[in-house]
Copies of this chain bind each other. A is one copy, B any other.
């Protein structure tokens, strides 16, 4: 191939809030493929909050991206050249190809997309890692029972919007927490949650109480900080809290001090951190159910699409600040 590759590398590790200058767009030679490999032209890049962790060298569950190395991330694209018998030119795939236009794979961690019922981009959202995260975290860790109240923060986001809709399918009362009146309306009117609290309205505790008249049985945690602390006060005995993310804490230098830990004891709560990568065996079941629900219109999703690889850093910083609306993608083609 003759085209150059473009990629975004980590220029330096942020202290406090991530900035655009922490990233750098670089042009490299087009990748060559060897035996058993294939070349992918990426169509969409997924931006996800967990990527903030990979920019830092604090101990975490994945190794950090090195300075000068391309940012890691999931993409969907099309195979344009192949020396692997299982993947042929024209195949659509999703895989860990990073913040770049072209990627090289050998099949490991790559998923062929054969189902044409939903658009390619959805395989990075509701039918990708965020959807599986919602499914595993809610059903396996949260274990909601019919009639219980499920609360989810970042409710209009890729994971949160799926959590609430899956909770509804399982016969629960679904209550979202989201920032601003527009997101709040979307969560209730478009996604069909029973209620949604706008945490920016300054009445978090009062609004949460009103939205959860029977207390909270499952809290799917995406944000951390003051919202987590407030929800703890509203948990019912034997409540479950799957901890999926702490987005409000990723960019701060001094973490929020959680005061309502007593609720864990008094209410015999189970608070459990999880990472979707530890639950790969559940992926086929999750994708089967989610594909059906999306096809049936029972699970809806929304995307915010930034145009061009060069817009990825600003879009990522916006994501950390909650400026996206639904799944944040970057269109690369």
Contact = CB atoms under 8 A, between A and B. Distances in A.
Interface of A: 53, 59-61, 224, 228, 237, 243-246, 249, 254-262, 264-275, 278
B266 A60 contact: yes
Contact of A272 (B60, B255, B270, B273): B270
B268 A275 contact: yes
A218 to B, nearest CB: 15
A246 B266 CA distance: 10
A267 B262 CA distance: 21
A261 B61 contact: no
A255 to B, nearest CB: 4
Q: Which of A60, A224, A262, A278 has the most CB of B within 10 A?
A: A262
A272 B269 contact: yes
A189 to B, nearest CB: 31
28 contacts: A53-B266, A59-B266, A61-B267, A224-B262, A228-B261, A243-B264, A243-B265, A244-B265, A245-B265, A246-B261, A246-B265, A255-B259, A255-B262, A256-B257, A256-B259, A257-B259, A258-B258, A258-B261, A264-B271, A264-B272, A265-B273, A266-B273, A268-B272, A268-B273, A268-B275, A270-B272, A270-B273, A271-B271
Contact of A264 (B59, B265, B266, B273): B273
Given A261-B228, A262-B246, A271 B270 contact: yes
Given A249-B262, A259-B257, A262-B249, A270 B268 contact: no
A268 to B, nearest CB: 5
A237 B61 contact: yes
Q: How many copies does the complex hold?
A: 2
A31 to B, nearest CB: 32
Contacts of A245: 265
A133 to B, nearest CB: 12
A88 to B, nearest CB: 38
Given A243-B265, A255-B260, A265-B273, 15 more contacts: A59-B266, A61-B237, A61-B267, A224-B261, A249-B261, A255-B259, A256-B257, A256-B259, A257-B257, A266-B273, A267-B273, A268-B272, A269-B272, A269-B273, A271-B272
Contacts of A264: 243, 271-273
B61 A268 contact: yes
Contacts of A254: 259
Given A61-B237, A256-B257, A268 B274 contact: yes
A311 to B, nearest CB: 28
Nearest to A263: B273
A129 to B, nearest CB: 16
A245 B254 CA distance: 27
B266 A261 contact: no
A96 B203 CA distance: 43
Nearest to A240: B272
Contacts of A258: 257-259, 261
A49 to B, nearest CB: 11
